[in-house]
């Protein structure tokens, strides 16, 4: 497998070559389009996905039918990785849906469980991933409780921009409503406010053009705090502890 492909995912990039080679024969590349579903709530995990590009949201369906996004993941993570901790068949508590089209490497859960038991480096990388996901969930919960819809929309747009590296983002109002946990009418009003503030330049056919610099001034501190904290953890816990990964330079998801 080409080194460039491997480096597309930050977790795989942090593995020493010998440990990555345990996984390599079982990895297959796949592409996913906008709104593609990788796994649905209640489905058995059969594959673990290591995104190389794009953005995947984890959706929770409430008893009243409302769908809310809990977290967002790109090339910094692994979809379904928690299944390696289950001794029996593991079912997904959420639906993983692509908000931004991209590609991923996927591996059968059984194979990942096998190498997880074999390799201390793979265990370290995945446990790091579990901690950063928990940290993100805690941060999102706190942010939802204390920050305005405008600040949170700016934060989510920045999070998505980190994963697409383009000032134009293909995103529906329905997706924004799920990320924010609000009605679409609230999304419409909030987008007008961000346009007036210069954070959103235009909106045409589900395509948003943003001004990143302006959005950074509007977003709450959660965006910068989380980015810096996770990148710092990556440097300290993965790169520094794995001398064979010097080629995998520290970077934001959209820079990999």
pTM of the full structure:
0.87
pLDDT of 128 reads 94
Give pLDDT, residue 242: 57
Task: List pLDDT tens digits, range 169-216.
Answer: 888 889 999 999 999 999 999 999 999 999 999 888 778 899 999 999
| Window from 110-114, 159-163, 229-233, 241-245 with minimum mean pLDDT | 241-245
Contact 256, 8 (CB under 8 A): yes
User: Of the CATH numbers 2.40.340.10, 3.40.50.300, 3.90.1150.10, 2.60.120.10, which one belongs to the domain with range 3-144+234-255?
Assistant: 2.60.120.10
Q: Where in the chain are the domains? A: 3-144+234-255, 148-218
| Mean pLDDT within 222-230 | 90
Residue 138, token pair as written in the block:
């805690």
Q: Can you say how many angstroms the Cα of residue 75 is from the centroid of all Cα atoms in its chain?
A: 7
Predicted confidence at residue 253, as pLDDT, reads 37
Q: DSSP string covering 65-116, please? A: S-EEEEEEE-TTS-BTGGGGG-SS--B-SSEEEEEE-EEEEEEEHHHHHHHH
Handedness of CA 216, 233, 23, 40 (dihedral sign): negative
CATH architecture of 148-218: Orthogonal Bundle (1.10)
């Amino acid at each position: 497998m080409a080194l460039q492909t491997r480096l597309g995912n930050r977790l795989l990039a942090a593995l020493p070559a010998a440990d990555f080679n345990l996984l390599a024969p079982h990895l297959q590349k796949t592409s996913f389009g906008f709104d593609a579903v990788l796994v649905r709530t209640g489905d058995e995990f059969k594959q673990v996905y290591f995104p190389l590009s794009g953005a995947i949201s984890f959706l929770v369906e409430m008893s009243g039918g409302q769908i809310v996004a809990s977290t967002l993941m790109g090339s910094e993570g692994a979809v379904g990785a928690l299944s390696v901790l289950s001794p029996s068949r593991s079912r997904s508590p959420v639906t993983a849906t692509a908000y931004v089209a991209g590609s991923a490497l996927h591996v059968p859960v059984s194979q990942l469980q096998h190498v997880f038991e074999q390799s201390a480096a793979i265990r370290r990388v995945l446990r790091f991933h579990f901690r950063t996901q928990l940290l993100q969930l805690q941060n999102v919960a706190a942010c939802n409780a204390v920050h305005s819809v405008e600040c949170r929309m700016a934060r989510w747009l920045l999070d998505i921009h980190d994963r697409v590296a383009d000032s134009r983002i293909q995103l529906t109002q329905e997706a924004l409503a799920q990320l924010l946990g609000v009605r679409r009418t609230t999304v419409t009003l909030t987008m007008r406010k961000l346009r007036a503030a210069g954070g959103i330049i235009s909106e045409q056919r589900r395509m948003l053009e943003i001004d990143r610099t302006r959005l950074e001034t509007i977003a709450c501190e959660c965006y910068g705090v989380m980015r810096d904290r996770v990148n710092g953890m990556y440097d300290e816990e993965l790169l520094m502890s794995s001398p064979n990964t010097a080629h995998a330079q520290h970077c934001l998801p959209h820079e990999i």
